Amino acid sequence: MAYGLWRLRLSMLGTLALVIGVSSLIISVLLSLIGAFSILTMLSIVILFSIVQWLIAPYMINFMYKVKEVPYEQSPKLHTMVEEVAKSANLPKPKVMYSPIKVPNAFAYGSPLGGSRVCITQGLLDNLNEDEIKAVLGHELGHLKHKDVQIMMFVSVLPTLFYWLGYSMMWSSMFSGGRNRNGGNLVLIGLLSLAVYFVLNLLVLAFSRQRELYADRHGAEVVENGAKRLSMALAKLDAYAHGMKRINPSSAKVSGFKSMLIMDPDSTSGINPRNLDDDSLLQNIASRKISTGERILGLFSTHPNTVTRIKILLSIAKANEY
């Protein structure tokens, strides 16, 4: 499955341009209907709220996932792995964080207040070998290098604006009682805004999936044999999530901030890992066909389907052999 780097970059650029273009067009229409002051005031409030959320998000994440910074003397091997991958990626070494949750995952995050951080869960340490953890770190440091936290915050402001605008117009129409022409206009503007929110949100989710593929490419490039190792890591994470969902569906769920994780633990390939060695597991997932239903559900996901990601990574690994 060929998925060239420039094709990916152009796809991201096109999606971003579409989000901005649609937003600008609809905002211009709404400005002419309800006046500049109200919508610009709401835009200012949404932007301010998003910035505050960005600044305090690391502290919220630390609280939610019981994240603590790892002192060097406590785990020099983990610090060395992060340092090696950061050096290969030409990045300053981020703070090394640890979460005791059993779901195997990793995520990169940060803000100007707390600096850049990369977190490894206990589940990841228990289920992946050192080479696979390095490949996962390569993916996460790709998010830091590509400024994905900041970029996704920017693009998420636009659908959020229309969401709140839509609901405020609907509430205003209810208080006006819809008894006059103005009340009817408010309903129409509210419905239009909510429809635009839905469309923009789909585009933002598509953009998020593209950024994940971009981070996969980074992991494949900055770690030796990174494409194969990252594909194996994703296969193991997929198998773990599938197994946990069969035993206890609620145990595989991670509430909130799933867009930051390397994969969505609520969505797996459905391959039963029982009696499969690592290579067989990888090949079984890579050969699986994605159903139409899964493709539709994938439109509402922050992450690409794991099967698709593994196929792309294996195609990169194969190309690197020549």
Residues classed as catalytic:
140
Distance CA 126, CA 23 (A): 45
The single-letter code of the amino acid at 55 is L
Q: How many CB atoms lie within 10 A of CB 56?
A: 13
- Whether the CB-CB separation of 128 and 104 falls below 8 Å is answered with yes
Residue 99, H or E segment: strand 95-99
Both tokens of 292, joined, read 């139409």
Distance CA 72, CA 52 (A): 31
- Whether the CB-CB separation of 131 and 154 falls below 8 Å is answered with no
Distance CA 136, CA 120 (A): 9
**Residue carrying structure tokens 């490419």:** 217
